[in-house]
Structures are given as C-alpha cells and as structure tokens.
Structure 1
Amino acid sequence: MFKKVIFALCAMGVSQNTLAEPLDKKYISYLGPIAPLNQFKPYETAQQNEIINNLLPHIEKTDKSLSIFGEKLTWKPLSKLSALTEPGLQAIKLTLSVKRFVEGKLKTQGIEKASLFINSQTLSDNDGTYNLSLTPGDHQVVIIAEKVADWNKVVLDFEGKAEHDKVTLSTDDLHPLSAQQLYDAKVISDLSLSPDAKQMVWTSLAYNNKSKNNAIRASELLDKKTHLVRYRWEDGKASNFIWSPNNKNLVYLIDGKLKQLNRKTLAISTLSDNLTGASGFEYFDDTTLIFSWNKTAKKNESLTKHYKGLEDRWSYARNSNQVHLLDLNSGIVRQVSSPKFSHTLEDFNANTGKVLLSRNPINYAAPPHMLTELVEVSLNDNSEKLIGSYRTFNSAQYAKNGFYISAGPAFMNGAGQNLPKGMLPNNYDGQLYKVSADGKKVTGISKSFNPSIGHFEVLKNDDIVLSVTEKDTRQLYLFDESKRRFKKLKTQLDIVEKFSLSAAKKPSLLYSGTNASNPQKIMQLNLAKNRSKVLLDSQTHFYQDSEIATLEEFNFVNKDKVEITGRVYIPHNLDKTKKHPALVYYYGGTSPVTRGFTGRYPFNFWAANGYVVYVLQPTGATGFGQEFSAKHVNAWGNYTADDIIKGTGEFLKAYPYVDAKKVGNLGASYGGFMTMLLATQTDIFSASISHAGISNITSYWGQGWWGYLYSGEASKGSFPWNNAKLYSQHSPVFSADKVTTPLLLIHGNADTNVPPGESHNMYTALKLLDKDVELVEYKNTNHQVFARDKRFHWWNTIMAYFDKNLKDQPQWWDHLYPNK
C-alpha cells in the first residue's frame, strides 16, 4: 500500500487564523471493541495509567490483528465503523507524515475520555486539543478511547499554526528513519565465545521513552548452534564474562562480586565479594585469575592543588591501577605490579610464569611527550625485567620467542617506517612488530601493509587475528606467521565492532558490526574456510519497514594526483528533476570517517531529512598508507582544506540535482577546527557547524587534557616559540575577519579534550566583527554527546540550523531557540 493524503491548512492573511480540515477516516485505523466484558473502564480504577500503558506497546506494533482474551481483533478503517457505541476500549491509530518542521493542534471531537500518544509519548490535552511540534518524518499517533457516546460524531482534525504547517496522513509500508529508532534500537554491545565454541554470551543495550537516559541492558548465555537461551541476566549489571579453560564454568562480575555459573547445571556460586574497582578478569590458569584493580585517589580537600606534571590535569591521574592474581581455592590475592607506577596488563604466560605490563613514567623529553615502559615480571622470584622504553606504543602480546607489539611507524628508531626521505611519520598509523625476548631485535611486519593496525589477538600457532582500519572501513585480517602474509577475512561487513575467538586449533570467530546502509549483524566465521554466516540481523527486527538512503561511492583526484575517497547518501525516492540541499561531512584528523550505519553523526538520518550527504576522507587519515597519513604532521589544515574544497566542487559537478547555493558543512573536534578554518578560506558553503572545534592551536595545546600529546604528533617538533607561524596563522581565530559564512558553534561546557573556550574565542571574534554566528553550549557535557535526551536535542539543533539556512525554514530553529 502506498497512499498519502495531504491536508493543506492555510493561514488567513497575516492574522494567523487557520482553517482546520477533518482528517479522512479512510486513512485512520480502528481496533475494537477491546475487552468488552471488563466491568470497569481504566479511568474508573486506580490503575488507569498502568492499564493503558500495558496495552499501548501491543497497539503500536501490530498493523493487522491482535488477540485479546482469546478473541482475534482486526484493524479496519475508521470510516467502516458504523456503530453508535462500542463496549470496552477502542484504539485509533494514524501516521502523520511531515517533510519539514510543523506546529499545530490536533483536535479530537466526540471522544469524552481518551489517552493520546505520539511516538509512544503521552500528550496532555486541553478539552480534546493537543499541541503538536513535529520534526520531519513520520509520527505514529495512538488514541486509546475509554468513553465515546457516538462514534459517528468522532472527528479528528489538524489545525496548522501557519500556512506551511501541513500534515500528510500516511499509510505507506515504509517510513523514514527516525532519531528515536536509530538511538533506541537494540544493539549487541559486547560478546564472548566459549573456548569450545559451543556457547556464547552477548550483552544487549536498548532505550525507550520509559527508560529515558538509562540503558536497558541484559546479558544472555546461549547455545551457539540452536540460539537457545540457557541463562539471562536481566538487570544489566553483570559484566566481564570469562570462560574457564576446562569449559565447565562461566565467571562474571556483578556489583563488585565475582560469581561463577556452572555451564551444565546453571548453579551459581560466589568466588569473591570484595572486588569493588576490579576489572579485566582473565584465567591465568585453571585455578587462578589475573585482573586489574584500580584504587581511586583520596579527594583533595585542600585549598590548593600542586600539579605534579601535565598529566595531573586528568581527573584520574592520581589513581593507582595495579595487576593482581586471585587464587580461586583460597581467595588470597597477590599484587604482581610495582606500586611505584600505575600499570596496564598487556599479556601473560602461565607456562613460564611471566606477566607482561606497561606503564608511563613522566618524561617529556621528546614528542609525543609521553614514555611507555614495557616490563616483564617473573612470578617465580618477583623480578622485573625492562623490555624497552618507547615513545610510540599501543599494545603487546607474547609470541613464540618474543613479543608482538603494535605501535606507530617510528617505533624502535623507525623500524616500521616506510616513507620518502624527510617526511615525519604519523604515529597514530598503527604498525605491527615482532620483538625478540630480550627486546633488542625488532622486525617491522606491516611496513608495506596500508591498513592501520588496531586490536589484535595471537593464536596458539603464533598467527594473529587483527582489527585494522582499512580506508573508511574496519576489517579483520589474519596474519599467517609461517608465510609472513596478511589475509583479509570475509566478514561481509564494513565495520567490525567487536570480535571473540574460540580456543581450538582452528578457531571460530564471533563478531558484530554494520555496513554503511545496513544495521548491526552478529556473525560467525570459520577461520580455516574463511566463510561467514549471519546469526542475528537487526534489520529484520528494527528496520524492516524503514526507508534507507541509497549509497554511492564518489572519489576524486586531488591537486597532488592522489585519489581521495568518499561516499554519497541519496535520500530515498529523491526527485532528481529538482534541486536539493546537501551536507558535506569530514573529520580531517588522523582517522577516517568510517562506514557505520549510525553513530553520533548519523548520515542516513540526515538523508532521511532530505539532504544529499557527501562524506569524504581528506589527506592525513590513517588506513590509506603511511605517506597519506604522514601529511597530517605539521599541516593543521594544509592539504585537508584543499581536499574538502576541491572535493565539494567535484561533488557538485557530479550531482547536478544538488543546489550549489544550499550546501552546508560540519565537523567535530579536529573536524570542527576544519569547519572554522574553511570559513576563513572559502565561500562555497552556505552554512557551517563546528562541534567542539579548535580555534586557537596554542590554547588547545596548552589547556586541553591531551592537547600536548596530540600536538606531539600533529605538530611534531613545532612549538609556539619555534614555529609561531604554524600556531597563529593556522588558527582560525586569527583570520576571523575573513569569515562570510553563517556559523554555528556547538560545545559541551565540560569538555576536557577541547575546552569550551575554543568556541568562545571564535564566538567573541565574530560577534565583535558583526558576523552571523551562533553559540550553543550543552550543560554538563564533555567532548561527546551521549545522554539520550541531549542527543535528540543536539541532532535537532543541527537539523534545525541547516533547515533555517539551507531550506529557508527558520521555524524549527526559532522553536528551539526563540528570541524572547
């Protein structure tokens, strides 16, 4: 079915009086009578809200029929209801579809007592009139009626606030993606495969209007073959699931207590109830666990704080994290690491009695102004051996006759570097190394391997499964140690989020992830055969009736003859005979903008709001090879700005149905810096948004919690005293007088990464220059917007600003930020 009926509600001249037109009953669904034998209506009881709210989800999710007390009820058009009265309850359902922000009143006549919900949220009425503020998309309205004297007199109508406030009654089978859908849909946030590959544990996360900002978490123990749930932890507090090597037990942490579940009998026992602050549990051997234990520093109640170093600005800097062993037979705990430093557990070898740790003594002698020491502790005599001290280091694991280490290209005097002479490496571009047991001999394994190495797991035969950033995807590779060769695993996903391996000689792989146009899947892969299959597809459960943008690849060659990759999201059923607004998104820092289905910056959602969305990967990102990423060093916008400007121009040529005068751009963090910088260099954009952007490189370097560390790579060897030009002339605030584009600055007022003063710098400059600038600050918010209510408001702010400037529709923005 594909029907939409438009009700044009016109404003009368300048008086703002509007005409309300009845909504066509043919496109309103009716279900009833519901529970006609009930003696009392809900409003006659003390549990009215509970009764109605119990019924609501079932009414919302069914479009055909519903069985109630053994009686099957079928939805039908309200126009076919001829009865004067109906016993019990009755339900009315309709979908209001709007292409733009709409305000108005939904009026119900002839219904004496009812509860009205829009998108599962209850609305209060004023004598049958409900005030609506509708964001672009489809909105489901449900009315549960308790008292109607004459159904023939029931009328629903919508009265728009102004001429443009029009609604469509939709009976489409497909609906545009909504913010609530993208945020609330259940996802698997963690997963673990048993050593024998017979069972798995996964933890799900979802939200709804009732839970608000609190996630609904649950963990399940399932048989992998049948997917039968063997055990379920409902409250979401259980975490850190680990499997005993003998495949008999599953150990987990809950409320600071360590519990053990017998996989066969499902009996639960407590291993320890005094482990608050402990995490990262693993089996060291059959009877011993190894874990990290964090001790929070005492709160400083003194008048002053005497800083002990640059790291002391971090709220957690004075905490102590140590590695311990727990003997399961006696409960005795043994500290492994030295209390002189905080330590991170890298790996362990129970056969040799060795534990591999890393730590960060304060040392600012060279970029990036942090030192990592890799140490090995022998449990036999408590001796500590220094393997090496490194300026770049990510992680380490034991290998046969030594260690595997991931670090930047400059590791061990450039052992992994593959660059033209004179170029400085970008050490965010992860490489893989084999280091001898004494730490002196190092072999760069991934020199000619363009993807950037992330997390990795060493197998029993010394092969490695690696998570890598490959262009704008996150893939899994197998490194065959005997053949010294990387083999790409056929995951069938663009972004692999998490993975877990069984312990067999030929391991199975359990993993989760998404494609750019497909939501999360849970899959398994046979490493030996390199074949995968789907275990769970959230498309079926949460996005079956969703309109999803069409994705097209769009690449171009920049002025240096280097291909810059990108992709374009085209709104569903876009009329290409007309002109449409577009948004250009980028990061520009050391990472590409990956192809996740959703996220903080939901490209598919922007497309659902009518924007053609162009995402590009400008020069400097990892995952494209060392030379590409090295151009990020000491650039601060060089190359990147040129790529974005040229790429936008090429995009406009290739997509003639995009209105070149209605193109917006936005980025966050380094991408926010790029937005400000672009505003000083080009007028190709008609509106710009910078979220948590950097306006003054010097203040970010000196004040952000990690500014000096990041600048140790991005500005390697350059400081305000020896390269003032870089720090000033590349800082957007120094060229604020060149800005001509309307600019929205968004920042969290508790941002510790890029302090909010960075947006205030630019806001002050542009206000004094009488430029078109807005500043929106989110209270009690750090560098990213996580909380559900803030996320929805933040997404609305972005869309409203672009609608105002690119669609000439200021009403949504004015609704959010009225001029009083």
Structure 2
Amino acid sequence: MKHYLSTLVLLIGATVMAMAQPKPIDNLFIAGPHPVNEPAFGKVANIKGDVFAADELLKMGIPYSNLSLINGSVCGNDGKPDNAWKRTESGNGEYIFTANSQSASIAYALFFVDAGSFTKGSLSVTSRLQLEVYVDGAKAADKSSGEEAKSAKAQLKLTRQQHQVLVKVLIPKEYKDTAKIAIKLDVPEKQREQLAINSAKRLLTINDILEGVKVASTSISPSGKYTSVSFSKVDPQTGKANRFTKYFSIASMKEVYSPKGSSACEWMPTGSRIWWMDANNDNALTTFDFETSETKVIAKNLPSQAWMRWAPNEEYVIATIEDEVKIEEKGPMQQIVSPEDRQPGWRDRSFLYKIDLKSGIKQRITFGNKSTYLADISADSKSLIVTVNSEVYTERPFSTTSIYRIDASSFKVDTLLKDQKFIGSVKLSPDGKTLLVLGGPEAFNKIGQNVKKSPIANSYDNQAFLYTIENGKVEPITKNFDPSVDGADWSIDGKSILMQVSERDRNTLYRYDIASSAFNKIATSCDVVSSFDFAKEADGMVYAGQSGSYPSVAYYYNPSNSSTVTLADPAKERIAQINLGEMRDWSFKAKDGSTIEGRIYLPPGFDPAKKYPLIVNYYAGTTPTERNFESRYPLHLYASMGYVVYLVQPSGAIGYGQEFSARHVNAWGKRTADEIIEGTKKFIAEHPYVDATKVGCIGASYGGFMTQYLQTRTNIFAAAISHAGISDITSYWGEGYWGYTYSSGATANSYPWNNPSLYVGQSPLFSANKVNTPILFLHGQQDTNVPIGESIQMYTALKILGKTTEFVTVEGENHTIVSYKPRIAWNNTIFAWFAKYLQGNDEWWNELYPKKNL
C-alpha cells in the first residue's frame, strides 16, 4: 500500500535495529541496472543554447511508484509480485551494481521502513555516482557525480505508516570504478525498538482502517439465485468514498454480468431481477433479469426526487415525495416554533403517491401537516401500512406514533393504533392479521417491561411485540429475551420472524418460531452482523459483518444445512500482511456482584515480562462497544503502537437484559464510573505487565462525558481524551439537537428544575477543581449533537484552574469525524497525546502542535 505524503513512516517488524549510531540498511531490493541512451542530436544546442548533459539521463528510466511490500515481496499496483526486484543483503550496508560498458544505466535500490511511533531521523546514501533519493515518490535528496564519495542526506519525519525509500543511481557508460552505494539510517536511540526494515509482516496503521475496498452491505434476490454485494473504497487523494455493487450467482459463487448504470438498485419483489431509475433515459424505471439477461423499461418520467417501493404484485409503486408547500421565515428574524425547528429540514413534509405502472396514473395518497411514512405493503398488495409521528412536548418520549392501514385502491383509512408512545418500526404479517412492532419496554403500557430493581426501563432497549389487528391483543415476545432487537422481519410463510439483535458486545441473528415461542440462534461467521437479507421464494440468506480482529466480509448462509460460504472478502490479502496482537475476553465481578465484561488487546510480539502502558476505552452509554475491527476507535491499532488496551462494558448498555440496561437511567456516571475505576484497578492488579503509572483513558460523546467525569473521581489516569464530551448535562439537555430527546431515556422524568442534584452534581464542569489528569478535548466544529460549547466550557474552567489541558477542534466536522483527511489528522492527534504522556515521547505532539508565542 502506497501513500504519497511528505513524511516517512517506520514501523516495528521483523528486523529490530538499535540506532544509537547511524545503522547500515542491511537488506533491500535491487532492480537493474537498466540501460539508458543519450537522445539523438544530443550535441545540438536547444533554444537556450544548452546541449544534452549526461547527468540528465537520471531523469529517464522506469518510473517506479505505487509499490508495496506484501508478504516479503515487492508488488505493483495490482498487488502481484514484481519479479524485477531481487532481495539482497549486506552487513555493512554497501551494495554493488554491475556496470554496463556499452551504455549508461540506471540501478534502483528499494526498501520499506516501518515505525511504531513518530520519530525524526535522517537517511544518508554515500556513493561516487550521481543519485537521487525518493521517499514515497517525492524527491528527498540528490547528489551529483564525482570522484569523491559523498552523501545525499534526507531529513526524515517518521510518522506511523509504511512507506518506501527508493534510491535511483546513474552508472555512466564505460564506468571503470566499482558501482556501489552505502545506505545508513540514523534515528534516536530511544526509538530503536520501534524500527524494522522490509518486514514480511507489518503493523496495523490508520490507513488500513480507512482505506481499501470494504464490504458495505448485502442483499439477495427473491428467487435466492443471485446476490448483490455493495462495496466502498476511499480515494486517498480526494478523501471521497466511492460505492459500487457486484452481483454473484449463488450456484457458482462467481461474479455475473450486470448492465451499466445498475449499481444503485434494488431487487424486484419476485424472481431474479433488479430495478433502478435511469436518469439518462427520461428517468426511466428499468429492470434487468439475471436469468434471461433482458433489460426492460417499465415506465418513464417518474419523479426524480422520490423514494420508491414496489407493490408485491408489481402493478404499482409507492413514491415518497417531499411536498412543495413550505413555510419559511423571511428576513433577519427567525421564529423557532418548537425545539425540533432548529434542525435543518424539520419543516419539510413528505407524502405518499401511488404510480400505476400500466396506466401511468399518479395519485396522491396522503395529505396533511405531518409527514406520512410507508411502513409496509400487504402481501396481496391491497393495503398499505402507514405511520405518522407527532410531537408531544409535555410528556416523554416527547413524540407519539399512529399507525394506519390505507386501502391501496380507494385510499380509505383504517386506524390501527393511535398516538402510541415508545414504538418504532412496523411490519405486517403475510396474512395481514398481525403487526410486528418494535419499540421500547414502555410501549403498550409497559407490557414488555421486565425490570424489578429499577423503576424505569431503558427506552433504547428495543423489544418486539405482536399486535393482533382484529382484537388489539399485544404479545411482548422478547420480554424475557436479553438481547435488544435492532431489526426484524416476517418469514415468507409468516410462521417465524428473523431478528437482528444486539447481544452483549455482538450483533447476531435469531429466528423466532411463533408456534413454539422459541428463539433459535443462527450461527454466523462474524461477531457483528451489519446487514442481512433473506430470499422470499427460497431458502437462503446473505449477511455482512466484521469481527474483533477482522474487517467486514459478505457471506451466504444455507438454512437447509446451516452452512456458510464466503461471498466477498476484499481485505484478505491486506490482513495477511499485518501482524496483529491478540484479543481476548476479560471480565470482573463488581462490588455489587455484577459481572462486568470487557476485552483485552495486546501488542504484536507481546512479552509478559515487559511493562506496557495501558489505554482504557469505554462508551458507558446505552449501547455496548461492539467487536468491530474497523471501528472509529480501532483498539487493535492502539495495541499495535505498544499499548495494552482494556475495553470495559459497564452497566447501562443494552444487550445484557433490561435490568442491566435500566442502570443507565438517571445515573449519568453514578454507578458506571465506579465500575470503570474498579475494573481498571483490578485489571492492573491481575496483569503485572501493565505499568500502573502510565494509564490513559479515552471516550467519545457519552464516553467523552465519562472521561471528564472520571477525572473528578480518581487520579489513576496519567492522560485522558474526551471527544465531543458533555461537561454540563443541563446545557447539553437544552442545546444539543437531540439533547432533550436522548435525555427522555437517560434522565427519564428528571429535569433541571425537579432534579438539580442530578444535572449539577453529575456534571463534570461543577467539579472541575477536582481534575488533576492532563485532558485533551477534541470536538468537531459543526457538532449539532453535543455542541462544541461542552468542550469549550470545561477547557476554559481547567485553564482558569491552572490544570494541564489542550483543546483541538476539527474544522467542518460534526459529532463524528468522517472525512478522510481530517480523520487521519484527528487520529494522529490522539496517538501523539498518548505518546507524550504514556510513552514519554512528546516529539509527535510538538510536531503537530508546536509552541506558539501568543
């Protein structure tokens, strides 16, 4: 993998070098020499009066670039070994080339360097020959020819990433002396253990997390014969992510042809066909049949800005279209009519339209002052299930949902459920008699609530309910099922329900059998399922997901024999190059007897006899920190930098049962912080390889709040990082776009006026004087979830108190840092802060943020 940056990375690997003195490069790859000839008419002066100089020959030759080291071999853009490069070893760093007496020639010396942390150093290449030194494709040093052996010296800033060093040497025609070079690398002694040259295995980098082809989602045709896999790939030059889709035959598991322009498409309700809107053909609704290879235009001039869904009988589509009628404030004065009115687009309204594909007639189905949403279409295509949400600001959860059944022909409305609280998605059973409703434990008058010790359940702990339309009977089918239901759908025969659930720190699949009320877990080949789809006309399912130590993969699952086949594994070759440390589970018994789960990440080449700094990570909010390899906080990456990482899952998270998740309500750190502190102390005590004086912690959003709150409760941390953290629960509650709605669950029935002890007592800002740990505040400048003022006020308080703190904002970013280049810079800031306080190396931080005389 190549990255053209102005800096060079040196990572840990196979050959560790002590570098108190300049150290010879003892192995590299050599290509050539390749002959180069002077141009014709070289002795004729050009328009400037210059004749061709022999030194200009060095500009010729093979433009080697985009090279990478894969499993010990130099590979080109295609990832395949380039046999032009031969590995050569030299104990003293001197390399001899064979001169060509018939013509001048160019020889190439190449090596890859990796480093575990930021280091400044230099590279010297000594020779009597003319040469140039390139670092990641950019010229870093050069030297003219001469009798005396002199050095070309490149000053390097070694950042954490694999890079290449290429030396290009010109050997003159009829060169009589020995054509040789000597290469030495000079870095400070304290970084010597971080360096390796041409390692067969390399360390994980942030680029591995962000770049390369990644599986985004999967879907399967109703026939079960074909599947689609959507991928994404970031362009490092532009930072933009490009999405594309491939289609595979289930029978052969090989990619099949799909027409141009069909990448953003969906499956038709039946068969093996896909459909898409062809903007280049009068916005034509177009289909392609994989079994017959037939492309067909169904209708033209359909609405361009609309979300479409096909009726099962394929006679019509339902279009969701944004209404043209709008109420906008004009002039400098802007009236805010509700808390939600601050959000862009809140005043927009969308309604449903029916487009008959045979006649082309377009009819409006819904009207009014509230948007209407299509939840489902009945299996016989005769009715629509529609939902409408309304704000109710005087009682939590501050909104209600009404569910209607609308006749698809007459548009006659039948109200099924009116002004229900705590309910979300809805699916109609194939026989049209039952609704599958997902919602919080308090939905349907708390019939699904299962808490005994806690007065209020966690409203984010999603439950599944069966609502019988005829008699209004509600069955809470997951009341005694610990996982939280993220998504669910009926089987084609209506006898079972397939569920995607949060189960502890995993995301798994279950099939619920309605007759027996039994949950049957579906064995998956990954820890965290991100998407799934099952065939409507045959047995078969596809899903995608990743694991704690492996990126996302797409799979096909055959229910008849419970077998799984890999559809797409784009990271396979990349992961094979990387030396990952071990991940293992570690739990402890809290003082109240609760089991608090967690995970350990160890550095590659871990030695239990050594002492390692420790990073403690947590979210501590409503959801667990899942076993994602390519997460926003990549724990394997932290470990690869020489840290032991402890991930702790304290009380309050969903996926562990309602009683456990209810501990989040009206807590704001009361129990959670104690568990993190207790877990950290026990972890250190049970793992003697942890340096108890070098312990850091990091969290974001609610985890950023937890970082701040922890520092008011303990001094066990040597460094802390809060990204987008909440410092004052009251200001977050009122100012964040979703502050008061999130608090309807987190601080249920508690408000600044009726529970000030919670809003003030648990806010880190009001205990800022107790903080002694150096804290780094990170925040996106455009954060609408947790406004940037939350970091500003805590940073200001700590500066007034004379505490050690830094504050770095990310331009143009919201709550999470998503853009490619800012995300790399943001991660490097995190790495540099921990390196400064946990590894005693402040060079990286000082390079990123040099002292300003202000």
1:116 aligns with 2:141: no
1:347, distance to aligned residue in structure 2 (A)? 0.9
The residue number in structure 2 matching 1:30 is 30
Which segment drifts farther, 260-269 or 717-726? Answer: 260-269
Aligned to 1:675: 707
What letter matches 1:378 in structure 2?
D
Residue in structure 1 matched with residue 66 of structure 2 by the alignment:
57
Per the TM alignment, residue 621 of structure 1 is displaced from its structure 2 partner at its CA by 0.4
Distance 1:189 1:428 in 2: 25
How many Å separate the matches in 2 of 1:59 and 1:177? 14
Give the aligned residue type for 2:393. Y
Q: 1:555 to 1:700 in 2, by over 3 A?
A: same
Query: For residues 50 and 228 of structure 1, what CA distance do their matches in structure 2 show?
Result: 43
CA-to-aligned-CA distance 1:711-743 (integer Å, 9 cap, x gap) = 111111111111111111111000001111111
- Residue 103 of structure 1 deviates from its aligned partner by 1.2
How does the TM-score come out when normalised to structure 2?
0.87
Q: What residue is the counterpart of 2:838 in the other structure?
A: 806
2:169 pairs with 1:158: no
Amino acid at match of 1:30: I
Partner of 2:168: 145
Shift of 1:321: 2.4
Contact 2:695 2:838 in 1 (8 A): yes
Whole-angstrom CA distance in 2 between matches of 1:51 and 1:328: 62
CA distance in 2 between partners of 1:326 and 1:711 (Å): 41
2:304 counterpart of 1:276: yes
Secondary structure at the residue paired with 1:796? Answer: helix
Residues 120-135 of structure 1 mapped to structure 2, 5 A cutoff: 122=138, 125=141, 129-135=153-159
Pairs within 5 Å for 1:65-84: 73-77=84-88, 81-84=96-99
What is the 5 A alignment of 1:593-608?
Answer: 593-608=625-640
Please name the residue that 1:368 is paired with.
Answer: 397
Which residue of the partner structure matches residue 734 of structure 1?
Answer: 766
- For 1:503 and 1:38, how far apart are their aligned partners in 2? 69
Instruction: Give CA deviations for 1:362-410 in whole Å, capped at 9, x if unaligned.
Output: 2113112122222222222212233222221221100242200010000
CA distance in 2, matches of 1:510, 1:785: 30
Task: Quote the Cα distance in structure 2 between the aligned partners of 1:421 and 1:158.
Answer: 64
Contact 1:218 1:233 (8 Å CA) reproduced: no
Q: Does the C-alpha gap of structure 1 residues 473 and 64 become closer, same or farther in structure 2, counting only changes over 3 Å?
A: closer
Check conservation: 2:115, 2:195, Cα contact below 8 A: yes
CA distance in structure 2 between the partners assigned to 1:192 and 1:129 by the alignment: 55
d(CA) in 2 for partners of 1:711, 1:481? 35
SS of the equivalent of 2:423 reads coil
- Pair 636,792 (structure 1): closer, same or farther in 2 beyond 3 Å: same
Contact 2:482 2:656 in 1 (8 A): yes
User: Are 1:575 and 2:607 matched, yes or no?
Assistant: yes
Match of 1:495 among 510, 528, 553: 528
CA distance in 2, matches of 1:257, 1:299: 33
Structure 1 counterpart of 2:158, one-letter code? L
Counterpart contact for 1:27–1:169, Cα < 8 Å: no
Q: Which has the larger radius of gyration?
A: 2
Secondary structure, counterpart of 1:652 in structure 2: helix
User: Quick one: distance in 2 between partners of 1:570 and 1:396?
Assistant: 43
Residue aligned with 1:621, SS: coil
Q: Which residue of 1 aligns with 2:508?
A: 475
After TM superposition, give the deviation of residue 285 of structure 1 in Å: 2.4
Deviations 1:461-481 (A, max 9, x none): 221111100000000000111
Distance (Å, rounded) in 2 between the aligned partners of 1:38 and 1:278: 63
Which of residues 309, 317, 330 in structure 2 aligns to 1:289? 317
Task: Please identify, of 280-289 and 296-305, the stretch whose mean Cα deviation from structure 2 is larger.
Answer: 296-305
Deviation at 1:525, TM superposition (A): 1.2
| Residue number in structure 1 paired with 2:250 | 224
Aligned AA (2:120):
E
> Does residue 175 of structure 1 match 2:202?
yes
Counterparts of 2:323 and 2:600 in 1: how far apart (Å)?
48
For 1:155-554, what aligned pairs fall within 5 Å after superposition?
A: 155-160=182-187, 164=190, 166=192, 168-210=195-237, 212-231=238-257, 238-251=263-276, 258-263=285-290, 264-265=292-293, 267=295, 269=297, 271-272=299-300, 274-279=302-307, 281-294=309-322, 301-351=330-380, 353-388=382-417, 389-399=419-429, 400=431, 401-420=433-452, 423-438=455-470, 440-462=472-494, 463-505=496-538, 507-554=539-586
List gaps (5 residues or longer) in structure 1: 11-19
Q: How many residue pairs are counted as aligned between the two chains?
A: 797
Residue 229 of structure 1: CA displacement?
2.6
How far apart are residue 63 of structure 1 and its match? 5.1
Q: Is the Cα contact below 8 Å between 2:105 and 2:171 reproduced in 1?
A: no
SS in 2 for 1:809: coil
Letter in 2 for 1:133: K
Q: Deviations over 1:128-153 (max 9, x none)?
A: 544422234x6231427374547834
Residue 93 (structure 1) aligns with: 110
- In structure 2, what is the Cα distance between the partners aligned to 1:762 and 1:179? 29
Confirm or deny: 8 A CA contact 1:348 1:398 kept in the other structure. Answer: yes
What letter corresponds to residue 398 of structure 1 in structure 2? L
> What is the CA–CA distance in structure 2 between the aligned matches of 1:352 and 1:74, rounded to whole Å?
64
1:198/1:286 CA distance change after superposition, 3 Å: same
State the distance in 2 between where 1:393 and 1:751 align: 28
8 Å CA contact retained: 1:243, 1:251: no
Q: Aligned AA for 2:109?
A: I
Shift of residue 436 of structure 1?
1.6
1:352–1:223 CA distance, 2 compared to 1 (3 A): closer
Q: TM-score, normalised by structure 1?
A: 0.90
With over 3 angstroms needed to count, the CA separation of the structure-2 counterparts of 1:99 and 1:247, relative to structure 1, is closer
Question: Aligned residue for 1:16?
Answer: none
What is the alpha-carbon distance in structure 2 between the residues aligned to residue 98 and residue 746 of structure 1?
A: 25
The separation in 1 between residues aligned to 2:39 and 2:254, in whole angstroms, is 41
Gaps of 5+ in 2: 1-11, 43-52, 144-151
SS at match of 1:372: strand
User: Which residue identity lines up with residue 66 of structure 2 in the other structure?
Assistant: P
Match of 2:416, SS? strand
Q: What is the identity, as a one-letter code, of the residue corresponding to 2:519?
A: F
Letter matched to residue 97 of structure 2: S
**Contact 1:434–1:445 (8 Å) recurs in 2:** yes
1:623 aligns to what?
655
1:560-587 C-alpha deviation (Å, 9 max, x unpaired): 2111111101111112111110111111
CA distance in 2, matches of 1:49, 1:203: 43
Distance 1:762 1:374 in 2: 44
C-alpha deviation, 1:244, in angstroms: 4.7
Q: Which residue identity does 2:162 align to in structure 1?
A: H
| Equivalent position to 2:814, from 782, 785, 797 | 782
Q: 2: distance between equivalents of 1:410 and 1:398? A: 21
Partner SS, residue 154 of structure 1: strand
Taking a change above 3 Å as real, the CA distance of residues 718 and 244 of structure 1, as seen in their structure-2 partners, is: closer
CA, structure 1 residues 249+184, in 2 after alignment: closer, same or farther (shift >3 Å)?
Answer: closer
Which protein has greater RCO, CA pairs closer than 8 Å, 6+ apart?
2
Is the Cα contact below 8 Å between 1:337 and 1:343 reproduced in 2?
A: yes
Is 445-454 or 256-265 further displaced after alignment?
Answer: 256-265
> Structure 1 residues 539 and 350 mapped into 2: Cα distance closer, same or farther (>3 Å)?
closer
Matches within 5 A, 1:626-665: 626-665=658-697
Q: 1:348 to 1:253 in 2, by over 3 A?
A: farther
Q: Work out the CA distance in 2 between the residues paired with 1:299 and 1:112.
A: 70
Secondary structure of the 2:123 match is strand
